[in-house]
Amino acid sequence: MAESETKERFSIEPDGTRVCRLHVPMRAHGGRTIDVVRLRPPKYRDIMSFGDPAAMIVFNGAILPHEDMGIIEKYLNALLLDDKGEVIDTGLLAQVDYRDALALKDAVLSFFKAAA
């Protein structure tokens, strides 16, 4: 996903929250539809528990970026909120299409790029 596409896929609020408008809304319990999700900024305990979701790997003299999807998923599960700031059942993420999955991944990684 191009960087310009990614920036259009999520916005950053003054408090650091990432807001993603979903291509395909999630169907929640009770018939509720979720078309916007928020990722609150990670806190100390999140970072110490999950670690850095990206690293540089040196292989045969080349430096290669590596994104750890397992760690990214842990952050998504911890940071995910609906548009009202309420916690979302992370089981609903199974409904997210590929475009939204990539935007959410990039939103998580952006917390760490901003801090670098």
Q: What are the tens digits of pLDDT across the range 54-112?
A: 999 999 999 999 999 999 999 999 999 999 999 999 999 999 999 999 999 999 999 99
Helix axis angle, 98-115 to 69-79, nearest 10°:
90
Whether the per-residue pLDDT at 7 is higher than 60: the answer is no
- Distance (Å) of CA 95 to CA 53, 102, 113, 116: 23, 13, 27, 32
Whether the per-residue pLDDT at 45 is higher than 80: the answer is yes
Average pLDDT value for residue range 11-31: 95
Per-residue pLDDT at 9: 83
Q: 116 pLDDT band (50/70/90 cuts)?
A: low
Identify the CA nearest to 105 among candidates 56, 65, 72, 79: 72
CB 104 within 8 A of CB 23: no
* Distance separating alpha carbons of residues 112 and 51, to the nearest angstrom: 11
